[in-house]
């Protein structure tokens, strides 16, 4: 039954009208360098660029764009506490040196390489203490926490960032990485404040908005405070906002186990139906798998499932980044398989996930319909 289901999905993928306009990898390293075993607030802040954290390797972007000639999307992580130092708080006042380094990475991707870039504040809808992410820091907009940044401050931040990139048609505004353990109404309020501020700044590019509960696709409709019950109320005057969904394939959807056991075509069915019902689009900006041969069919399944359902417009696999070394960003079970960074190797010297997962599996299933021109949009370039 399993193999027949996969075969059917693969057949449909060849016949369906493709709507995957953007595909590539998440670039994870901009959030590095702040972990504290003792939860010491301020650890690694601001940090030394190029030593404690980085954004991209330009050579790696070259490999994905020039050598592979297929990847057109990179999701670039950064920390709010570095962009908006604790001394001034979350808002429109930026650390200019930090912003310039970030802008250099984004401009290399979008201007030099002519690809698209997601701006990714990797903060879990929290601000002021990333020392043990994803659990530390005050929830943005939590009025019962006197240390918390407000929803208005979050909007001010996004208004300023959008203003600075208003003339770059190839950016995508990824409002927040994986909100969790907070009221879904507050996720909606923060998302809406950001959308309003971005549009008020004159920016027309694509926005991707997260839901609650780690923005998991499998859990979108679950629980008494589900994303599905609330996030349908989101509004964009330009109708150029999609939802940002994450979906891992292991037993608890955390991306921390080697074994793949959850078939995306089954687990994503409820959120896919929800997207169709309300007329929304989505991107899956985090998914991944270990190099176990048993995971191959699961990776094929999630890629083909997105290709056969026109509510999905793009994806990024988790993760590449210049700071990973032999460590693995996901799905490793405490083993070091390397990352999706080109040239990555596992701790035993064998090929890393770039070879075993990207080249050997994902790259072979990349869409041929990716766009390389026009403003980022839910329709693939305006």
Alpha-carbon span 198 to 102, nearest angstrom: 19
Burial of 286 (0-12, 13-18, 19+ CB in 10 A): buried
Phi, psi (rounded to 5 degrees) for 342: -55, 135
Supply 19's token pair: 């709507």
Alpha-carbon span 153 to 123, nearest angstrom: 15
**How far does Cα 182 stand from its chain's mean position?**
20
**SS3 of 81, please?**
helix
Alpha-carbon span 202 to 375, nearest angstrom: 14
Q: How many CB atoms lie under 10 A from the CB of residue 99?
A: 17
Q: What pairs with residue 24 in β-bridges?
A: 73, 316
Which residues are catalytic, by number?
A: 178, 286
Alpha-carbon span 48 to 51, nearest angstrom: 5
What lies within 8 Å, CB to CB, of 364 at 6+ separation is: none
Largest CA distance in the chain: 58
């Amino acid at each position: 039954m399993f193999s027949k289901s996969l075969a059917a999905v693969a057949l449909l993928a060849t016949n369906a009208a493709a709507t995957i306009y953007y595909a590539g990898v998440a670039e994870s390293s901009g959030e590095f360098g702040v972990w504290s075993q003792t939860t010491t607030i301020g650890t690694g802040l601001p940090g030394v660029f190029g030593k404690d954290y980085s954004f991209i390797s330009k050579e790696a972007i070259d490999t994905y764009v020039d050598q592979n000639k297929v990847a057109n999307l990179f999701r670039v992580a950064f920390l709010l506490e570095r962009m908006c130092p604790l001394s001034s708080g979350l808002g429109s006042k930026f650390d200019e040196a930090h912003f310039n380094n970030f802008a250099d990475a984004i401009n290399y991707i979008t201007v030099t390489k002519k690809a698209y870039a997601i701006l990714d504040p990797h903060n879990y809808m929290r601000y002021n203490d990333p020392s043990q992410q994803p659990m530390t820091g005050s929830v943005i907009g939590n009025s019962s926490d006197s240390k918390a940044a407000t929803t208005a401050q979050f909007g001010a931040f996004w208004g300023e960032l959008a203003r600075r990139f208003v003339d770059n048609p190839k950016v995508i505004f990824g409002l927040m990485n994986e909100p969790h353990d907070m009221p879904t109404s507050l996720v909606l309020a923060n998302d809406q404040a950001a959308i309003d501020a971005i549009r008020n700044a004159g920016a027309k590019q694509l926005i991707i908005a997260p839901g609650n509960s780690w923005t998991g696709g499998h859990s979108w409709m679950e629980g008494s405070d589900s994303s599905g019950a609330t996030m349908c109320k989101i509004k964009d005057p330009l109708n150029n906002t999609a939802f940002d969904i994450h979906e891992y394939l292991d037993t608890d959807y955390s991306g921390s186990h080697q074994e793949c056991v959850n078939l995306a075509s089954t687990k994503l069915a409820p959120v896919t139906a929800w997207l169709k019902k309300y007329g929304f689009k989505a991107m899956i900006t985090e998914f991944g798998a270990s190099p176990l041969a048993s995971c191959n069919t699961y990776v094929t399944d999630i890629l083909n499932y997105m290709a056969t359902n026109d509510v999905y417009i793009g994806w990024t696999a988790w993760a590449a980044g210049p700071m990973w070394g032999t460590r693995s960003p996901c799905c490793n079970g405490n083993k070091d398989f390397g990352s999706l960074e080109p040239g990555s190797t596992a701790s035993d010297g064998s090929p890393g996930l770039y070879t075993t997962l990207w080249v050997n599996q994902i790259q072979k299933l990349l869409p041929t319909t990716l766009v390389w021109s026009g403003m980022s949009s839910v329709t693939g370039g305006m």
